[in-house]
Structure 1
Amino acid sequence: MQRSGIALVICAPSGTGKTTLTKRLIAEFPRFAFSISCTTRAPRSGEVDGRDYNFISPEEFKQRRDAGFFAEWAEVHGNYYGTPLEATRVLLAQGRDVLFDIDVQGASQLRRTIPGARLIYILPPSRAELESRLRGRNTETEESVARRLQAAHIELMQARWFNVWIVNDNLDQAWEHLRAAYLAATLSPDCQTDLLDELLKEWSVGAK
């Protein structure tokens, strides 16, 4: 019996290790699918419309946004990005799991548009460790480090309404926790709404 798909939302401050953990999840579980997002920015070299993004004008984006077309949307550096809601619902109905690697603003929207979404927040072990990781990149200026730490503080204050918290103090342990959280979500009755009914039918048939 095919289960329903899961909308899995993963958020974390920059430098927490979210990208590494997400890549491991995708590599182990090929069930994940991605809805093609819409954006108003210009295509980059090698990007194909309809494959990498749906490239649309700011005016068209705003019309779709106001019509409730998007599951979540955001403005980033002057450009709009949005995930189509109906396309996401189709993937979930087909039993595909849809992964969202977004910020807390987008996660908040998904709580409303996809009520069954599972929200996971990756936490740094401490402010000092997060600062050390940011500096360890050797790509951040002092101003950039300060800005990212301030953004992390603001995001962390929104973490209370997430379903799962995972502290990335040790990468392998954080991965095991993320893997366990995902597998637990796949066993939720919300994903297997027909399972119990089908099983109980056997009792109804046997009672006749």
Structure 2
Amino acid sequence: MVNAVEHSVIQVMKERGSVRKYQPGVEIPPATLKTIIEAAGSAPSAWNLQHWKFVVIQNQENKNRILPAAYNQQQVADSSAVIIVLGDTEANKNAEAVYDEMVRSGAMTEDVVNNMVNDINNYYENAATAGVHDAIRNASFAAMQLMLAAKAHGIDTCPMGGFSADALREELNIPERYIPVVMVAMGYAEQPAYATNRFSADQIVINERF
């Protein structure tokens, strides 16, 4: 059973590709989209602060409105949904909500939680780039899980870094607290992803040290 699961996960990873041609007008079933988002939200994060929000855009008029912010990449308009993955630069403010539940469940004591929250706040206050770097790093984990979960449900994706964050912020009224990290087009492929080559393990592994 374990081997079958491992095979399935690895197969999804290998089959995922960046699809740019989608069948326009095809909706993702709401229950499926919810399952995909929940899977994305199970990604790891520093201190379990869950440094992400997902702006889900399915309305055709709204997809067309953000098209210029994505430099008119047509997959934005043709996809079933566009997900803007945001990174939370003030994720330390999530600590209370995260850890209160841990205390209620008996998984942590109040003293342990208080010490952790103090450590988190000290880190955010004293490390100049902590908020931005942690927002981007941790939201990226969630974005990757979003794409893998989508592929596992037969839905293709295309991650995009080519967009105007300022234009998106203005169009979608995104608060300053959040950084647009990646835009993900999601839907049903009209054409498969381009075939791409990958470096072998021997080319990307440095054993022990350079």
TM-score with structure 1 setting the length? 0.28
Q: Specify which structure has the higher proportion of helix.
A: 2
